[in-house]
Amino acid sequence: MAKAKLKKEAAAMECRRCGVCCTKHQAFVTPADIERITDFLGITLNDWENLYDDRRWQYSEYRLIRHVDGACAFLRFDEGHSTCLIHAVKPACCARWEAGEDKKECREGIGEAATG
């Protein structure tokens, strides 16, 4: 019988604003997310589709936010730290993301911060 491995509880950590998660993943947005974001930006749904919708992947009414220059279209860097232009109304998938030592993106970001 194989011994069951106990999953080590991941240590919580504060987001270091490295931006790696926003370069490795595309945000999956729901119609409610899109409505919140377009209202916040003061743009139309047509503007959203032209500027931010990644048309390479569509499933029903759900979408992915387009990447521009290898990162989320809403990601910006200021003095070495990432910032989200729509942080106040960010998609639910982004709101659920929790930084942690168990995430390879966070470990990569820590490594870049240590060498950068």
Average pLDDT over residues 94-101: 88
Q: What's the rounded Cα separation, in Å, for the pair 116 and 111?
A: 8
56 or 66: which leads in pLDDT: 66
Yes or no: say if 10 and 107 are a contact pair by the CB < 8 Å rule.
no
pLDDT digits (tens, 9 = 90+) for 7-56: 455 567 788 889 988 999 999 999 999 999 999 999 999 999 999 999 88
From residue 88, alpha-carbon distances to 84, 85, 103, 115 in Å are 9, 8, 24, 31
Question: pLDDT class for 73, splitting at 50, 70, 90?
Answer: very high
Q: What's the pTM?
A: 0.79
CB < 8 Å & 24+ apart, contacts of 33-42: 33/91, 33/92, 34/63, 36/89, 37/86, 37/89, 37/91, 39/89, 40/86, 40/88, 40/89, 41/86
Q: What's the rounded Cα separation, in Å, for the pair 23 and 53?
A: 16
Average pLDDT over residues 75-83: 91
- Residue-level pLDDT at 1: 46
